[in-house]
Chain A
Amino acid sequence: MTYFLQQTVNGISVGAIYAMIAVGYSMVYGLLYLINFAHGDLYVLGTFVVFSCMTVFGSQGFFSPLVSCLIGACVAGFVGILTERFAYRPIRSGSRNISMVSALGISALLKTISQVIWGPESKAFPSFLPDGKIMLGDIVLYERCIWVVAFSVIIIAAMMLIVRYTKFGRGTRFIMQDITTASLVGVNVNFVVPAIYALGGFLGTLGGVLYSSYYSLISIDIGILGTIKAWAVVTLGGPGSLVGCLVGGVILGWSEAMASSYFFNAARDAVGYIVIIAVLMIRPYGLFGKAKAEKV
C-alpha cells in the first residue's frame, strides 16, 4: 500500500508536468484543430534559452531563475508568433493536413536551430526547485513534487480565469466555435490567433523548464516526446478544455508510473496509451470535450 501511494505521488507530479506542457498545446489545438507537431521543439528551444540564461545569471536564489524563465518563455512566445505568421496563417483556410505538414517542417527547423546552438548531446539542467523531503508516514514527499503540482494548478487556474472572464478569452472561445463567424462579428482573429500561439510557446516553455529541472536533464530529443505526450493528454482530456488538460495529464502520468513500477519499464508507454484507448472508446471526444457538429 505504501509503495502504491508512493508511486501515486510520483505519478501525479509527472502528470502535472505533462499537463503544464499540454496547456499551450490544448489552447492552440482547440482553437484551429491543428495538430501542432512543432510544439515540442518550440518549448525545447525556450527551455534551452532558459538554460543559457541560468548559466549566465546563476541558478541560485529566487530572482535569477524567475528572470531566466521569463526570458526563455518570451523568446518561445515570439517564435510562436513568427511561425504562426509565416507558416500557418497563409494556409489557415485550407485543409488541416497542410498546416500539419508545415508544422512538421517548422519542427525540423526549430530542432536544427537548437542543435546548432546548443549541440545534440543532453546536458545537465540546473535544478532550482528546492531539494527537501517531507515524510508522511512511510511516504516520501519531495518538495519539488509539491512545487511542480502547485505551479501547474496555479497556471492552469489562471488560464481558466483568463479564458472565462476577459474579452480576449471570450474571443478565443468564439474562435474555437467558428472562426468565420467570429471574424464577422468583430473578433480580431489575426490578433487572437497569434496571441494564442505565443501563449502556447510561453506556457510550453514553463512546462519544459519544470520537466527539465524535475529530471535535471535537457536535450533536443525531449521535443518529440513532449509533442506526443501533449497530444495524448489533450486528446484524453478533450481539445480546448483546460480542466481536461490537468485531469488528462494526471491520469497519463499516474498510469505510466503504475505501469513502470508494477510491470516493467518498457510497458510505460504502452499502458499509458492503452488507458487512452479505453477512455476514447467510452468518450470519443475526450473526457471534457464536446462533440463537434459536422458541417455538410
Chain B
Amino acid sequence: MTVVNRVQQLFQKYKLPILIILGLIVLALPFLVNASMVRLLTTVFIYSLTALGLMLIFGFTGMFCTGFAAFYGTGAYVTAILATRYGTNFFITLICSGIVAGVVGFIICVPSLRLSADFVGLLSTALLNIFLAIVRAWTDVTNGASGIVGIPHPVIFGHEFKSKEEYYYLMLVMAVIVYLLIRNVLNSKIGLCMKGIRDNEIGTIAVGVKSRQMKLLTFTLGSFVGGVAGSLYAYYISAITPDNFVFAISTTFVQMCVIGGLGTLSGAVVGTVFVTFLPEVFRSLAVYRLGVGGLVMVILMVIRPQGISGSKAFAADFSIADRIRQWRLKREQKKVAATELEV
C-alpha cells in the first residue's frame, strides 16, 4: 500500500467534506494569493480543459494525439476572428469555436481510424503543422505571424469581465461545467463503451460495440472541448500568435494526461496542476528549471508509471515501487524464518 493509495482511500471515505473544503479554498484563493499566482491558476483552469479533451481522445480511445494544439489553436483563432471582426456574443463565439474545432477533429479522425496509434500521432502532428502553415500564410484572415491582437473582454449578461479575479471565476466555472458534463458522458451508456475501448478494444468490439463510431464520437467530443479551451484562452490573453500553438505546447498536453494518469478524468486536472506548477516551483533555479522539471518527470514516471491518480491497470509490471515492496517483503520473510529457526 503506497502513500498515494492511502490518500486515495481516505479521499473516498470522506469525499464530500474534502470536496466542500477544497471548493471553498479554490473560491477564496484570489483573495489569499498574489496576482501572478491568480494568473497561473487561471491558466491551470484553461489547460485542464485541454487536458480533459485530450484525455477523452488519448486516455479513453488510445488514439495518440500529439497535435492537440491544432484544435486548441483552431478554437482560439475562430474566437479571435469572430470577436474582433464581428463582435459576436461570448456564448455564441464559444460554441462556434468548439464546433469548428470539432469538425476539424472529425475530419482528421476519419483517416486516423485506419491507422495504428503511432501513425495517428504523426497524422495529428501533421495536422498541427498544416494548421500553423495556414495560419502563418493566410494573412488576410489570421494576420500571419504577427497574430491577432485586441480581442475584446467577454461580456456575459451585460457584465464585462475585466479584472484577473473575474477571469479567475469565469474560467473556474467553465472548467467545472465542462468537467461535470464530461463526467456525465462517461457515466452514460456511451461512456461505458468508451471505457470498454480503453480497457480492451478487441473485447469491446466482440461484445457488439461499434468501436469506429465510438472513436469518431470521442475524438469529435475531445476536439470540441479543445476548441472551447482555445476560445477561453484567446479571451483570456486577448492577443494570439501562431507561436502560442506550437508542437511543444502539444507535448505539454500529452505530459499532463500521462502524468495525471491515463484513462481517469481527475488525472487530467491533477496532471495539469502538476505540469503547470512544476516550473514555478523551481523558478529560483532560473535556466536549470526546465531540466530539473524534466528530471522530476522521469523520476515520477519510474516510481509511479500509471500517473498520479491513474489506476494500476496502466502500470508497468515491475515499477521501482513494486520492486522495493518485493524486497521488503523478502526481508520480512527472512526475518520470520530466522525467528522461527531460533524458536
Is A111 on the interface with B (CB-CB < 8 A)? yes
Contact status A91-B295, CB under 8 Å:
no
Question: Chain B contact residues (Cβ within 8 angstroms of A): what range?
Answer: 35 or more
In the assembled complex, which residues on chain A have CB atoms less than 8 Å from the CB atom of B298?
86-87, 102, 105-106, 109
The main secondary structure of chain B at its interface with chain A is: helix
Known: A93-B318, A115-B287, A224-B248. A266 touches B118 (CB 8 A): no
In the bound assembly, the distance between CA atoms of A264 and B111 in angstroms comes to 27
For window 96-134 of chain B, which residues contact chain A by CB distance below 8 Å? Answer: 111, 114-116, 118-119, 121-123, 125-127, 129-130, 132-134
B126 touches A92 (CB 8 A): no
Give CA–CA (A104, B58) in the complex, Å.
Answer: 17
Q: Which residue of A33, A93, A224, A269 is within 8 Å of B118 (Cβ)?
A: A33
B240 proximal to A (CB < 8 A): no
Are A90 and B320 in contact, CB atoms less than 8 angstroms apart?
A: yes
Docked CA distance A232–B121 (Å) = 10
Q: Contact at A105–B248, with CB atoms within 8 Å?
A: no
CB pair B116–A111 under 8 Å, yes or no, is: no
Check A93 against B129 for contact (C-beta < 8 Å). no
A-B pairs with beta carbons under 8 A, tally: 155
Residue of B nearest to A114 (CB): B291
- Name the contact of B294 in the complex, choosing from A106, A231, A296 (C-beta under 8 A): A106
CB of A241 closer than 8 Å to a CB of B: no
Question: Does chain A have a CB within 8 A of B137?
Answer: yes
- Which of A8-16, A155-163, A270-278 participates in binding chain B? A270-278
A97 at the interface (CB under 8 A from B): yes
Extra inter-chain contacts (17) besides given A101-B259, A286-B119, CB under 8 Å:
A35-B121, A87-B301, A91-B302, A94-B314, A95-B316, A97-B58, A98-B301, A104-B294, A105-B297, A108-B290, A108-B293, A109-B298, A111-B291, A231-B122, A266-B133, A273-B130, A276-B122
The 7 closest A-B pairs by CB, nearest first: A112-B291, A94-B316, A108-B294, A105-B297, A273-B126, A270-B133, A105-B294
30 contacts between A and B (CB under 8 A): A86-B298, A87-B301, A87-B302, A90-B302, A91-B319, A93-B318, A94-B305, A95-B305, A101-B259, A102-B297, A102-B298, A108-B293, A108-B297, A109-B294, A112-B292, A116-B288, A224-B247, A235-B122, A264-B137, A266-B136, A269-B130, A273-B125, A273-B126, A277-B126, A280-B122, A281-B111, A284-B114, A285-B116, A286-B119, A296-B203
